[in-house]
Amino acid sequence: MSNLIILPMLIPLLGGILLVFIRRYVVLQRFISMGALVATTGICIHLLARIQEQGILRLDFGGWEPPFGILFVADSFAMLLATTASFVAAVCLLFAFSSVDRRLEQLYLYPFVLFLVAGVNGSFLTGDLFNLFVCFEVLLIASYVLLYIAGGKRQLVASIKYIALNIVSSWFFLIAIGFLYGSAGTLNLAHLSERIAETGQTPLFTAVSFIFLIVFSLKAGLLLYFWLPASYSAPPPAIAALFGALLTKVGVYALFRFFTLLFYHEPQVTHQLIGILAVLTMVGGSLGAIAYTDIRKVISYNVIIAIGFLLTGLAVFSETALQGAIYYLIHDMVAKALLFMIGGLMVITAGTARMDKMSGLIGNYPFLGVAFFITMLSLAGIPPFSGFLGKVLIGEGAIEGQSYLILAAAFLSSIMVLYSLLRVFLSCFWGETIIGRGEQLVLKNGWILPCLILLAATLGLGLGAETIAVHVKTAAEVLMNPQIYIDAVLSP
Amino acid sequence: METLMIVLSGVLVTAGTYLLLSKSILKMIIGTSVLSHAAHILIMALGGLKTGGEPLIGSPEDAYVDALPQALILTSIVIGFAVTAIFLVVAYKAYQATGLDRTDKLKGGES
């Protein structure tokens, strides 16, 4: 029992509610929202250390012992993701301070960012199926508002599609919960795992697992990603960075949790299907990433490639591959936020999103060029940046598991990431400068600072991987041995 | 009785899907509401319809009906209410911005 576990969800939630009442005081809003996210990150790091000492922590709400009540479970996997999510959200907020216009700041932008973080952290930490649904809805409703908040035609059209699609996927979620409750009679994830293990995952449970696969694939963009590029390229850069870093990752987290804790008895059916979907996702994402000239679209398709790559780790389903996937998940949150920020800055400074109309930006903005280049190296998995270790471990796991097709697809996709971003780099940064000295914008400190923090983070995660190695190891161990999770939750 | 409820749920899914696939955004919104109610009825039926007394401490029957599905449905109705409200606001905003309620004319959205 540890009451601290509720705080990663509670602090952003209460902070957001408080901000609603001080809508007109923008500076105060900034201080409170930043304070809330920094405090959340700090608490997450503290909890991470506690989990290492005391094992998996849990909090039974209202003293109802599992499996009867709702509870939060903090294992290393959930906590690592919650830490990264809170940290990245704080940096995105810092970016928003100087890149979003004042009208939006008074339109409840910050409260909804905090509600989004509350939903994301809640989804990571909850140990109850229906609570997971509720947390998903909290983060989705916040994301609906953030998507259309700028209020242009482009945002409105994108959000109508996004909302309609997510309502349908939430509906599937509800149906799947109904079936699972009807057949297993419980909603506690650990208890469900036990019950499913007792029956040896009958075909009924496998069928239900496919419904969950559809639901989370829609949320994560695993093959069902057709909605993603339009929605992620519409909002202002700070919000797009937040979406690109956090939203799909919650779906990926749910897939990892469900297919390691609940439905792990028939890997030749479920995990093989996930492998096929992952390969198709990487192919589709790569095609999209090299097909478009709108750099926001190129960046959005890069999100999709990363989702496919992450899911190969789950498809291989060995401890090494899962470790790699966890490293890569953390890396991808940081690097994608960075990529969206730099892409957004390129669009702001060049005044267009089409890369055939941009040229020679490095002459005007050397910082952007260098930052983009480093991000590209990091995403392609070149040491010493953070993407390297995840890719190596997933590759190692795939070789151990003799999944050579997946291995080939995963590493070809890395080359496609490099190619698509190199194309952006060559056409936007090299060549003749088209922006004259007179019309050149000055890069604000508030734009550069968040990029610098994330660049430092991606370098730090690459060089200092040993500091999180112990947590990643525990996380992968728990994922591979569901009994540890079950014991921690169901023990009195 | 359960079979009847599941058939009812299926009919609602049919109607909801039809409405969701229409070109008018308002009809789509009504469709999502109908769909969510189909899911609620399904959860109720899967949890078992009235099999015992009220789940109150001190009520005379020995067997209580499972109260959890009702709690789930109640939560889900509230969430559905919020989502429908937001969807209506976005649809109205889009109508104000474009004067259109038709999804086929709203496509693209490149500015």
pTM: 0.94
Tens of pLDDT, residue by residue over A220-252, are: 999 999 999 988 988 999 999 999 999 999 999
How high does pLDDT run on average in chain B?
86
On the 0-12 / 13-18 / 19+ scale of CB atoms within 10 A, A31 is exposed
- Summarize pLDDT for B24-39 with one digit per residue, the tens: 999 999 999 999 999 9
Is A179's CB within 8 Å of B68's CB?
Answer: no
The structure tokens listed for A173 are 């979620």
A99, A482, B57 from A5: Cα distances, Å: 33, 21, 32
| Model pLDDT for residues A54-98, shown as the tens digit of each residue | 999 999 998 888 888 899 999 999 999 999 999 999 999 999 999
Of A160, A163, A171, the CB nearest to B36: A171
Cβ of residue A207 closer than 8 Å to a chain B Cβ:
no
The answer to whether B31 contacts chain A (CB < 8 Å) is no
Give the CB-side neighbour count of residue A28, counting CA atoms within 13 A.
10
Mean pLDDT of B85-93: 93
Which chain B residue's Cα is nearest to A68? Answer: B68
On the CB side of A177, CA atoms within 13 Å amount to 27
Predicted local confidence at residue A433, as pLDDT: 82
Task: For A354-365, write each residue's pLDDT tens digit.
Answer: 888 888 888 889
Q: How confident is the model over A30-56, as pLDDT tens digits?
A: 999 999 999 999 999 999 999 999 999
The mean pLDDT of B55-72, rounded to a whole number, is 80
pLDDT(B60) > 80:
no
Q: Over pLDDT 70: what percentage of chain A? A: 100
A71-74 and A57-60 beta bridge pairing: antiparallel
Q: For position A1, what pLDDT does the model report?
A: 64
For the question of an ipTM over 0.90, the answer is yes
What is the band of A435 on the pLDDT scale with cuts at 50, 70, 90? confident
3-state secondary structure (DSSP) of residue B53: strand
**Joined tokens for residue A402:** 């003799």
d(CA A86, CA A263): 29
Per-residue confidence (pLDDT) for residue B41, from 0 to 100: 94
Q: In this predicted model, what pLDDT tens digit does every residue of A263-272 receive, in sequence order?
A: 999 999 999 9
CB-nearest partner of B39 from A141, A153, A174: A174
Averaged pLDDT, B31-58:
86
pLDDT of the residue at A125: 96
pLDDT of residue B102: 81
Chain A interface includes B9 (CB < 8 A): no
The CA distance from A215 to B109, in Å, is: 26
Nearest to A151 among B42, B47, B93 (CB): B93
CB of A342 within 8 A of CB of A368?
yes
Q: Are A36 and A15 in contact (CB under 8 A)?
A: yes
Over residues B10-33, mean pLDDT: 95
Report the pLDDT value the prediction gives residue B110, as an integer from 0 to 100. Answer: 47
Q: In this complex, do A174 and B76 lie within 8 Å of one another by their Cβ atoms?
A: yes
What is residue A442's DSSP assignment? Answer: P
Residue A229, preceding peptide bond in cis (omega within 30° of 0): no
